[in-house]
Amino acid sequence: MRARAFAIGATSSGAGKTILTLGILAALVRRGLRVQPFKCGPDFIDPSLHQVVTGVSSYNLDLRMMGPEQCRSLFFEKAETVDVVVLEGVMGLFDGGPASTAELAKLLGLPVYLVIDARSCAESAAAVLKGFETFDGDLHVAGAIFNRIGSDRHRELIERSVLQHCRTPVIGWMPRDDVFHLAQRHLGLHMGEEQSLDEEGVARFVTVVEQRLAVERLLVPVALPEMEQPKGQPASARKRRLVKIGVAEDRAFCFYYRQNFELLEKMGFALVPFSPLQDRGLPSDLAMLYFGGGYPELYGAQLAANQSFRAAVRRLFDHGLPIYGECGGFMYLCRQLIDHQGQHHDMVGIFPFATVMGRRLRRLGYRDVTLTRTALFGRTGDRLYGHEFHYSDLDDAGAGQEVVVDGWETCYRLDNNSLEGYTVGAALGSYVHLHFANTPEALDHLRQQLVG
């Protein structure tokens, strides 16, 4: 398969990789090309920004959570009908070891264009490029983009050093200019649906990208590795009677992997959106409620004030309806949320904990989950894969114990030997964001739990 496809990596986080990716995506769209964006790693925010710029869903590719074959399968499936495929990397190019941008680019056969922040250096920037182009002989670093160039003299110093010491061509010199700015907060950039991208600013930035970056150099066709097509259709994906799952979707609950939704739909689930911020009640005939992650801490007062909705959730729980909450969704299902200002907000109250926002990151990293007993997504001993990233924690000193306390117990044992996955009745809550690409049988089990 020959396609125009490439990855955008960086020397480190904060080098300007996301902003440059958005500018490149916008420039490609402006040329009338059909673009399919991807994001390396367990990020929820960057894919939402990709979607705003391109108008199509962006997908995560994560070697740790999904595994190599699932990453390849999704990549080729979505790349088949577009003109250009763009993969935005995560952190520095080699950060994350076996789950790094470099390893993913090698798996997919993608050339990498490296973003280098030249703000506080000159000739030394060439030494950085030299190190990255020689660090892994199996990786194709196809070009360099020097970001935050302060002047023509600054550029000349770097360019002379690069020509003398490096083999990688420079395809872009981006100025040190705040023409395009993305607001940030404790979990990173603002989500795309929050209109964090100013259209006028994007247009100006695209103009700068076209002037300072050789976009046409990115569009050279590359030979991608052959992908064996799946043989037949698995039984779990055949058409079945639709089962409705209610999904919380608004500004407070917006962290979902797009592929998880598609896997649910292939399993015969119909996803019915609702808003804990705006709705007064829930849709009818639901088999389960799904509260994803997001920013409940920013909307604590509004969520608490919507008492009729919280009561509706509680009534369904009391009648035995399965309910699943991840991270922010789990926080909403707890007794109380204590925000950054120390304000206490009453939540649904299914789990007897208060969640307390901290100033520092409490947990960050991949999580391999082993079920210690049968639950919504599997039986005792089954494995699940996910990621944690949160600033809040439980205030209950008993959290993490294996025994039943106040009607709750745990069903997850994580690979760091801690206990997680809190259950009360038919409800399951956890700080771990699960990805189901590598464990589709978990969704088959879910369906059996819901419909028998």
Show which residues are catalytic: 327
Q: Residue 361 and residue 379: Cα distance in Å, rounded? A: 31
**Angle at CA of residue 271, ends 270 and 273, nearest 5°:** 145
Count helices and strands in the chain by DSSP H and E runs: 13, 26
Output the six-digit token pair for 246: 């209610």
Nearest Cα neighbor of 175 from 316, 20, 280, 290 is 20
Q: Residue written as tokens 């705040």?
A: 178
Nearest Cα neighbor of 105 from 5, 7, 227, 13 is 7
CA distance between the termini of the chain: 43
Q: Residue 449 and residue 452: Cα distance in Å, rounded? A: 6
Do residues 363 and 387 touch, judged by C-beta distance below 8 A? Answer: no
Provide the H-helix boundaries in 87-213. Answer: 101-108, 124-135, 152-165, 199-212
Q: Residue written as tokens 């150099």?
A: 217
